Amino acid sequence: MDQDTQTREFVQLLTQNERRLYAYILSLVPRWADADDILQETNLRLWDEFDKYLPGTDFASWAMRMAFFQVMTFRKRHGRDRRLFSEQCMEDVAAIVADTNDEADALHLALADCMKKLSASSRDLLRACYSEGAKIKDVAVRLGRSVSATYQSISRLRITLHKCVNDTLQDKKEILE
């Protein structure tokens, strides 16, 4: 892989996962400023070690493992600070966050599958209502519908999606058992 391709792949993977990585770091350190510093150090470390990353594997898990080591390094430098969590607590939190991320990924995948099952007009309505800064009243006016009818449609779609996501996750759980 040439340097430009490698750089592009790294930036894409990091961009897709940086918020998740930051949330992970925040779960392990008590101060935002410390998390910011650790994220910077982690990003540099990820770039330095990117040639060891196996394409096609879970970048987020790999990055979180690197972040964990950066947090441990941070702890060693700031060992006298009484506000730091115990090492066992950090390991427990790290495991819980990793499990939670796996669950969130499963939810997102199930939701994406369920969204595909909706009609195009239903997907458009959801996107319009849930886009940043959207107001149901404005969406209703744009669609030539009453606000009440728009709320009812959204409510029905949410119920449909909720049931579909639960069914999808239950099916996957049964397959794994």
51-61 pLDDT per residue, tens? 898 888 889 88
Which residues of the chain form CATH 1.10.10?
A: 118-177
pLDDT confidence of residue 15: 93
Fold annotation for 1-98: Rna Polymerase Sigma Factor; Chain: A (1.10.1740)
The CATH class that applies to domain 118-177 reads mainly alpha
Residues of the chain with pLDDT under 70: 1, 79-87, 89-90, 92-104, 174-177
pLDDT confidence of residue 30: 76
Whether pTM > 0.85 for this model: the answer is: no
pLDDT confidence of residue 126: 85
Which residues of the chain form CATH 1.10.1740.10?
A: 1-98
What distances in angstroms separate CA 124 from CA 31, 54, 89, 140, 146, one per listed residue?
Answer: 40, 37, 44, 12, 17
For the chain, helix (H) and strand (E) counts, in that order, are: 7, 0
pLDDT confidence of residue 97: 65
